[in-house]
Amino acid sequence: MDVFLVYVRDEDYYQMLPEELGGSKPGDERVKVMAFPPLGIETLAPVIRQHGHRVKMFDTCLPQMKAKHIAQAAKDERPDVIALSFLSTTTYPATKRLAEQLKTAAPKIPIILGGVFATTNAENILNDCPYADCVGVGEGEELLPDYLKNMKNPETVDGLVWRKGDTIVHNQPRPIIRDLDQFPYPDRESLPIDYIESLPLDVPAVLSLDKFCTVQTSRGCPYACIYCDIPSLSNGKWRGRSVEHVLGEMRQLNDAGYRSILLTDDHFLLKRKRINEICTGMIERRFQFHWGCEGRVDSVGVDQLSIMNKANCTFLAYGIEAGTQKVLDRLNKNQTLEQIEYAVSEAKKHGIKRTHGFFLVGAPNESEDDIMESFRFAARLKLDTFGFNRLCVYRGTPLWKEYVDRGIIDDERDWSKWFKCSDIDPTILPSEVVNRARMKGYGLLFFRRIFFRPIQTFKLLRTFGQYMKASDIFKLIASPFRRRALTRAPELPENMLRG
Ligand code: B12
């Protein structure tokens, strides 16, 4: 069969690398894009090929791979199936628009949707998007080949949600994949794109121009933070690829010239022995790339930071979230301030070049002083970079369920939306107060950084300065203080505006 595998991008999450920063010139074979690689379709393409199908990959971040181009290609090349992959709630509108254009151009070609948001909203999508024929729930490595083999008997494909006349049929769920080693390594070459490591911000914040990719060595996280959808994707189960399978992929990437790798594992720091063996293997094989990962501060893996540094781990991001135990407990983070201080100081003690802290502001029962305490806490921690995002609620998370139970969200009406919690939850400070506190907090944090840690701050700016114009660095530093629209979230129905 001929399969189109399309990654639908959220327009806010990529930028072409400007020519003056080494961006592509017209006519270049490969285009440099500041974005995360589409690991989902990169993972699925070789699996589908292994089942004897021909796959054409598309990433809508490319100027020549916009909806109209893909629709024209569908019309001209008549693939047997079009598979649309998208990551989150924010990308559903673009996916729906693309499905409509494809259906108009080639009405007979079946369209199957998949990805995180599709997994938690299959029936809603089929009710709302007449252009989608079916949805694959969960991991696609087994489901998609099964669907391609049994398109004439959709009832036999576990995990498929499909249309039988006017009825929407849910086939029995497909168990999560236990053995992730059975699949070939992702295809990172077919798309004519070089993904540039950058911060997903509204200024071109390039982190490095090294050949960059993402790798997923494990899936899932056993914790249940109220704002996170990950547990709903893997029933809270953590599964890891074997050390050999991971090192095999890293060998391939190293030899292909990749020099910067970001692990997109939900929780890489969970298994001490595995981390140690992967790092030992990287050191023994003298890999030349630097890499980064994310994890929890209370992880056993924190005592592996020394060997991670020796294995050239240069970036570590912690989900810190807040500077008061009250808010940490309300977010069900299950971690203490002491654990945060210890984990960050260990990262610096063992020489991890850039330690990043994710923080959330605008949480339930959080006072203005609690927000300021999060910034004071961040200033005390030896973090290199940090991000203070507004707490949002996505369907599938415990917080979404809580808001439905509290009558704040109407699940049937709002399923395709996401919200900044301070816009809808009366137990949270009003959004303008949260934003004002955040600006004040950034002011304090920048002041402390510049006057109490001038050398680290200068080094960090110099890192950014390698790949960014001075004007963009200024925009980056100024961005937290810029008055911005209170929310990018969807318009709120009248009765949802907080009391
Ligand atoms: C890396 C990452 C990012 C990266 C971008 C990654 C990218 N590819 O573009 C960055 C940092 C930019 C990012 C941003 C955001 N993210 Co994010 N992100 C992730 C993370 C940690 C890993 C994604 C990944 O690499 N997965 C690995 C690949 C292999 O998996 P996959 O793409 O899901 O594909 C598999 C299946 O879904 C399926 N599949 C995929 N496509 C298809 C198609 C078909 C037809 C079929 C059958 C199956 C199928 O098969 C694949 C293999 O098993 C996930 C957590 C998670 N575990 O999913 C959060 C996650 C997806 N992100 C999330 C969110 C909310 C966001 C933001 C909105 C946050 C924000 N406010 O800014 C933005 C939106 C960005 C966007 N839409 O592009 C939420 C989504 C929740 C929701 N309900 O929408 C998640 C689940 C995190 C969470 N804690 O809840 N993110």
Residue at 458 is within a domain: yes
Residue 124 has pLDDT above 80, yes or no: yes
In the predicted model, what is the mean pLDDT of residues 289-315?
Answer: 96
Nearest-10 Cα torsion for 338, 344, 349, 353:
180
| 134, burial (CB in 10 Å: exposed 0-12, middle 13-18, buried 19+) | buried
State percent of the chain over pLDDT 90. 81
Q: Is any ligand 1 atom within 6 A of the Cβ of residue 141? A: yes
Helix axis angle, 337-349 relative to 368-380, nearest 10°? 30
CA 288 to chain centre: 25
Instruction: Please tell me whether residues 239 and 339 are part of one structural domain.
Output: yes
Q: What is the 3-state secondary structure (H, E, C) of 128-174?
A: HCCCCCEEECCCHHHHHHHHHHCCCCHHHCCCEEEEECCEEEECCCC
Instruction: Please tell me whether residues 298 and 371 are part of one structural domain.
Output: yes
Residue at 368 is within a domain: yes
Instruction: Please tell me whether residues 239 and 143 are part of one structural domain.
Output: no
Q: Is any ligand 1 atom within 6 A of the Cβ of residue 335? A: no
**pLDDT at site 383:** 93
In the predicted model, what is the mean pLDDT of residues 6-25?
Answer: 87
**pLDDT at site 38:** 97
Ligand 1, atom 5: closest residue by C-alpha = 36
Residue at 461 is within a domain: yes
**pLDDT at site 371:** 98
Q: Is any ligand 1 atom within 6 A of the Cβ of residue 396? A: yes
Q: Cβ of 51: how many Cβ atoms within 10 Å?
A: 13
Residue 368 has pLDDT above 90, yes or no: yes
Sheet-wide strand order for 2-7:
54-59, 2-7, 81-85, 111-114, 134-136, 160-164, 167-170
Q: Measured on CA atoms in the order 313, 318, 220, 187, is the torsion positive or negative?
A: negative
Residue 200 has pLDDT above 80, yes or no: no
Q: Is any ligand 1 atom within 6 A of the Cβ of residue 209? A: no
**pLDDT at site 499:** 44
Q: Is any ligand 1 atom within 6 A of the Cβ of residue 38? A: yes
Instruction: Please tell me whether residues 202 and 127 are part of one structural domain.
Output: no
What is the token pair recorded at 89?
């709630």
Q: In the structure, what pLDDT confidence band is assigned to residue 460 with cuts at 50, 70 and 90?
A: confident
Ligand 1, atom 85: closest residue by C-alpha = 229
For the stretch 203-243, pLDDT in tens is 667 888 999 999 999 999 999 999 999 988 888 899 999 99
Instruction: Please tell me whether residues 226 and 166 are part of one structural domain.
Output: no
Residue-number span of the structural domain to which 270 is assigned: 197-481
Ligand 1 center to 284 CA (angstroms):
32
Instruction: Please tell me whether residues 201 and 145 are part of one structural domain.
Output: no
Instruction: Please tell me whether residues 149 and 214 are part of one structural domain.
Output: no
What is the token pair recorded at 172?
């029995």
Q: Cβ of 348: how many Cβ atoms within 10 Å?
A: 17
Ranking 426-430, 436-440, 463-467, 488-492 by mean pLDDT, the lowest is 488-492
**pLDDT at site 19:** 82
Q: Is any ligand 1 atom within 6 A of the Cβ of residue 60? A: no
Number of compact structural domains in the chain:
2
Residue at 183 is within a domain: no
- What's the CATH code of the domain at 215? 3.80.30.20
**pLDDT at site 189:** 96
Instruction: Please tell me whether residues 281 and 405 are part of one structural domain.
Output: yes
In the predicted model, what is the mean pLDDT of residues 19-26?
Answer: 83
Could you tell me if 268 and 243 are in contact, meaning their C-beta atoms sit under 8 angstroms apart? no
Type and span of the H or E element at 340: helix 337-349
State percent of the chain over pLDDT 70. 95
Q: State the chain's maximal CA–CA distance in angstroms.
A: 68
Ranking 25-29, 110-114, 131-135, 287-291 by mean pLDDT, the lowest is 25-29
Could you tell me if 134 and 422 are in contact, meaning their C-beta atoms sit under 8 angstroms apart? no
Residue 486 has pLDDT above 50, yes or no: no
Instruction: Please tell me whether residues 350 and 296 are part of one structural domain.
Output: yes
Q: In the structure, what pLDDT confidence band is assigned to residue 487 with cuts at 50, 70 and 90?
A: very low
By C-alpha distance, which of 129, 56, 42, 21 is closest to 415? 129
Strand segments (E) across 265-376:
290-295, 313-321, 354-361
Helix axis angle, 431-452 relative to 368-380, nearest 10°? 20
What is the secondary structure of 378-428 as a DSSP string? Answer: HHHTT-SEEEEEEPEE-TTSHHHHHHHHTTSS-HHHHTT--EEHHHH-TTS
Spatial distance between the Cα atoms of 327 and 38, rounded to a whole number of angstroms? 34
Give pTM, 2 decimals: 0.95
**pLDDT at site 145:** 98
Could you tell me if 90 and 115 are in contact, meaning their C-beta atoms sit under 8 angstroms apart? no
Residue at 27 is within a domain: no
Could you tell me if 148 and 51 are in contact, meaning their C-beta atoms sit under 8 angstroms apart? yes
**pLDDT at site 2:** 98
Residue at 494 is within a domain: no
What is the token pair recorded at 122?
């299959």
**470-495: b (≥16 Cβ within 10 Å) or e:** eebeebbeeebeeeeeebebeebeee
Mean pLDDT rounded to a whole number for the chain: 93
- What's the CATH code of the domain at 66? 3.40.50.280
**Exposure of 365 in the CB half-sphere (CA atoms within 13 A):** 8
Instruction: Please tell me whether residues 221 and 158 are part of one structural domain.
Output: no
**pLDDT at site 470:** 77
Judged by DSSP in three states, 101 sits in helix
- Owner of token pair 């400070």: 429
By C-alpha distance, which of 309, 331, 306, 311 is closest to 321? 331
Nearest atom (ligand 1) to Cα of 136: 47
Nearest atom (ligand 1) to Cα of 159: 47
Q: Is any ligand 1 atom within 6 A of the Cβ of residue 230? A: yes
Instruction: Please tell me whether residues 117 and 252 are part of one structural domain.
Output: no
The number of residues in the chain equals: 499
Q: In the structure, what pLDDT confidence band is assigned to residue 201 with cuts at 50, 70 and 90?
A: low
The CA-to-CA distance between both ends of the chain, in Å, stands at 55
CA distances from 262 to 35, 89, 195, 198, 291 (A): 12, 23, 12, 11, 5
Q: Is any ligand 1 atom within 6 A of the Cβ of residue 5? A: no
Residue 108 has pLDDT above 90, yes or no: yes
**281-312: b (≥16 Cβ within 10 Å) or e:** bbeeeebebbbbbbbbbbbebbebbebbbebb
The larger pLDDT score, comparing residue 350 to residue 23, is at 350
Instruction: Please tell me whether residues 164 and 216 are part of one structural domain.
Output: no
**Exposure of 489 in the CB half-sphere (CA atoms within 13 A):** 21
Ligand 1 pocket test: pick from 53, 88, 400 the residue with the most ligand atoms within 8 Å of its Cβ. Answer: 88
Residue 365 φ/ψ region, left for φ over 0, alpha for ψ in the -120 to 50 degree band, beta for the rest = left
Residue at 491 is within a domain: no
Ligand 1 center to 7 CA (angstroms):
11
In the predicted model, what is the mean pLDDT of residues 65-73?
Answer: 97
The larger pLDDT score, comparing residue 15 to residue 472, is at 15
In the predicted model, what is the mean pLDDT of residues 440-463?
Answer: 87
Residue at 498 is within a domain: no
